[in-house]
Structure 1
Amino acid sequence: MKYLKSKKYNNEFVKENMMGPNSMIILEKLLENVNFKSNMRVLDLGCGKGLTSIFLAKEYGVQVFAVDLWISASENYKRFKSMGLENQIIPIHADATELPFADEYFDAVISVDAYHYFGSNETYFDKYLSKLLKKDALIAIGIPGMKSEIHNRIPDKMKSYWEEEALATWNSCDWWKNLLLKSTSFEIKKIQEMDCFDDAWQAWLNTDNKFALEDRAMIKADNGEYMNLICIIGNKK
């Protein structure tokens, strides 16, 4: 049975709080070969409505700092409190380039369906994020991407579905590898396509969220040809 951890959670609760492809499924796949210790401090960067933070706290017993720019800390705090996790997850409203933490504070950083918004450039990791991580800290990123670079040859059938702003941050595994190789502090362990694309997306498309309703036609048109999910695992040098 796939996604044994993710399936523990109330389906209606998860559907209500999804903001895109099921982040719990993505995170479970992302961390399937990763070990955590309960005393670790974990930065959940771009946590949305906190599903990934809840998953980290419940499944691994770690202390989570749940950071998001779009969802308020107060809203997320209510959600965490409803799950009995108000003392284990600290909700924070902050921009990814203005993170209010001490240097070398975190044992790990996790980012699901968010890192591409702020990290798809040569400066972000080294300038803003690296200093907050301890040496050898785990970096685990799950993001939407493309099977190959497509920006200059967008298929006609997809042009009406892919917004220019979103498409600018969707890149291939090779693109991300080339970008992160330029970093002085990111040690790459693995960059590869994830095999949970269909499951994560279908869970999202089955919700009544207005954005999910719009995405149904896009996924149908794509039909597995272009889009993917990308796993990036590394350590802070």
Structure 2
Amino acid sequence: MGINRSNLDDIEFIRANLMGPSSIVMIEELTSKLSLKKGMRVLDLGCGTGLTSIYLALKFGVTVFATDLWISATENYQRFSEFGLENQITPIHADALRLPFANHYFDAVISVDAYQYFGANEQYLDRHLAPLIKEGGIFAIAMPGVKVEFDVVVPAELQPFLSPNGEDIHWHTCEWWRKLWEESPNVCVESVREMSCFSKAWSEWLQSDNDYARENIALLNADDGKYMNLISLIASKK
């Protein structure tokens, strides 16, 4: 018999399925003022192990398309079934650059700790994502960021943990993201801000039984609040 869950109160379940700073903590803050209503179609882009998809389905009653490249659809389907959400959340294995959806299909797109990997360029929003969202639809993005741009060189304190020339870093400032999105003819930027949940989200991740989390302890200690943050970006489709 499978496991039956009714909520996301099991902290051990959450920590076992985290892939970075707590996606649950981040999505709670990200969606706290969004007008998500039952029956809406929501693209959870880069959903990872599907924690954010489960949260959206339980909290708002929306229909979620849980899309990820790194985690298989079958694995996520098993998790969704534990919550009895297999008919409310559709698991999809897909590349963010080749999304298999119709134009104007979604009422909203939510992305937590993923967008920075594929969307930090001038092409992605307009070419790949905006066409899928209905007029007036919601864009809500939460992701790691920085308080100042690293430009060419990563600060010395962080170089032991990150590429010195920043090649593997996709973090940017609120100002950088605002400028990028405000240049789009397809969206109206409503807010770009530093999130208040940084300490809580990272603390949950560092307490998880995960080798990557243990490696991140030294990174957070080296940063010591100087550079890293979490950013939320809210916009609407024109």
| TM-score, scaled relative to structure 1 | 0.95
For 2:47, the equivalent position in structure 1 comes to: 47
What is the distance in 1 between the residues matched to 2:154 and 2:53?
35
For 1:194, the equivalent position in structure 2 comes to: 195
Q: How far 1:152 moved relative to its partner? A: 2.8
For 1:115, the equivalent position in structure 2 comes to: 115
| 1:124-164 CA-partner distances (Å, limit 9, x unpaired) | 01101111100010000001000011233432121011233
What is the distance in 1 between the residues matched to 2:20 and 2:75?
18
Which residue identity lines up with residue 85 of structure 1 in the other structure? Answer: L
Structure 1 portions without partners, runs of 5+: 1-6
% identical aligned pairs = 51
What is the distance in 1 between the residues matched to 2:231 and 2:49?
21
| 1:154-197 CA-partner distances (Å, limit 9, x unpaired) | 32121011233432x10000011111111110210000000100
What is the distance in 1 between the residues matched to 2:237 and 2:9?
32
For 1:4, the equivalent position in structure 2 comes to: none
What is the distance in 1 between the residues matched to 2:139 and 2:180?
15
Q: How far 1:103 moved relative to its partner? A: 1.1
For 2:94, the equivalent position in structure 1 comes to: 94
1:67 paired to 2:67: yes
What is the distance in 2 between the residues matched to 1:140 and 1:92?
20
Count, aligned residues: 230
Q: How far 1:120 moved relative to its partner? A: 0.4
Which residue identity lines up with residue 136 of structure 1 in the other structure? Answer: G
For 1:225, the equivalent position in structure 2 comes to: 226
For 2:131, the equivalent position in structure 1 comes to: 131
Task: Give the alignment's Cα RMSD to 1 decimal.
Answer: 1.1
For 1:22, the equivalent position in structure 2 comes to: 22
Which residue identity lines up with residue 204 of structure 1 in the other structure? Answer: W
1:235 paired to 2:232: no
| 1:7-29 CA-partner distances (Å, limit 9, x unpaired) | 95201110110000000110000
What is the distance in 2 between the residues matched to 1:77 and 1:225?
39
The 5 A counterparts of 1:106-185 are: 106-163=106-163, 164-167=166-169, 169-185=170-186
Q: Summarize the Cα distance change of 1:41–1:171 in structure 2 as closer, same or farther, 3 Å threshold.
A: same
Q: How far 1:211 moved relative to its partner? A: 0.3
Asked if structure 1 preserves the Cα contact closer than 8 Å seen for 2:8 and 2:55, the reply is: no
Structure 2 portions without partners, runs of 5+: 1-6
For 1:33, the equivalent position in structure 2 comes to: 33
